[in-house]
Amino acid sequence: MTAGAPMRVAGIDCGTNSIRLLVADVVREPDGRPRLTDVHREMRVVRLGEGVDATGRLSSHALDRTWRALADYAAVITASGVVRTRMVATSATRDAGNRADFVEMVRSTLGQDPEVITGDEEAELTFAGAVGDLDPASGPFLVVDIGGGSTELVIGERVGASNRLAGGVSLDIGCVRITERILRGDPPSSTERDQARRWARQILADGLDRLPVHRVRRLIPVSGTATTVAAAALRLPTYDPARIHLAELPIDRVHTVADTLLGATRAHRAALGYMHPGRVDVIGGGALILSVMIELVAARTPIHQVTVSEHDILDGIVLSLA
């Protein structure tokens, strides 16, 4: 791809909870950095990973929900004149014993196979998507992506057109997994919340111990859990990506919002104007994971706030096509 010549590409991120599409025009700047211009961005909650933690298999209902969304995405891709498409599948399909059924469904619907990527690959793509709009001088960055079945942590910095990673881990904890395993009450009981915090602290602390956290100067939470918590922290009446993207949130405010969402009933959460219906059941668990992560990072660094990014692995997938 030559500098200044746009190319229309599409990325699909299929996670445990949602499947998302980004169609974008990519232009490479004279300094080599790719720049995205959104053409179409969409997210649907399909709960592909529903029950995988317990059964080890993707259910027929979850596969059917995912197929319906993917068929619509394929139509958008065709109508948009996309020249290259990349579909990435993450935690749920890595864990499923019948992932061959998922691959065959994607092949017959999209005309190509999905890439069932490793946790390390997921971390690299997430970092690339998350830091594109940040001042390189404000790094090194710790990007935290709380998914449905896993959480990715990656530390690195931007140097010119390149990302230099200092380390990354993928941890088997996410908003769907912690909800199905522990947070079953409406709202979760104090015993459930305490158990969930202990489990999150154990898993996350182990992950952080494997990374050079002391180098981090900026903490960047991404994806649906983080952006929903940001909407609550900013007291938005409805979900507003423009106000959420790169919002700076004091860590005490994040802890307060997490406690509120975790202690709320399902009906209360569903009535919030910024809440996506597909996140109602699992946002409490996701917010707990985010709160525990921030607590552990703040104990190891002088960080007092977080920068929430609307850009994440989906943008990284598209950038990888440039």
Q: What is the per-residue pLDDT for 82? A: 97
Q: What CATH number is associated with residue 158?
A: 3.30.420.150
Q: Report the half-sphere exposure of 310 (CA within 13 A, side-chain side).
A: 15
Q: How far is C-alpha 49 from the chain's CA centre?
A: 14
How many other C-beta atoms can be found within 10 angstroms of the C-beta atom of residue 178? 28
Q: What CATH number is associated with residue 82?
A: 3.30.420.40
Q: What is the per-residue pLDDT for 117? A: 87
**pLDDT digits 0-9 by tens, 255-291:** 999 999 999 999 999 999 999 998 999 999 999 999 9
Provide the 3-class DSSP secondary structure of residue 151: strand
What are the tokens at 121?
């690959």
Residues whose CB falls within 8 Å of the CB of residue 197, separated by 6 or more in sequence, listed in order: 288, 292
Q: H or E element: which one contains 20?
A: strand 18-28
DSSP label at residue 188: P
88 lies in the same domain as 141: no
Rounded CA separation 174/55 (Å):
17
75 lies in the same domain as 206: no
Q: What is the per-residue pLDDT for 30? A: 75
Q: What is the per-residue pLDDT for 4? A: 60
103 lies in the same domain as 133: no
Q: What is the per-residue pLDDT for 218? A: 97
- Mean pLDDT per 10-residue section of the chain, whose length is 322 residues: 76 91 89 84 90 88 96 98 94 82 95 88 88 91 92 90 88 94 96 98 97 97 95 97 96 97 97 95 97 97 96 93 85
Specify whether the CB–CB gap between 316 and 117 falls below 8 A. no
Q: What is the per-residue pLDDT for 291? A: 98
Count of the separate structural domains present in the chain: 2
Q: What is the per-residue pLDDT for 76? A: 98
What are the tokens at 154?
């990656």
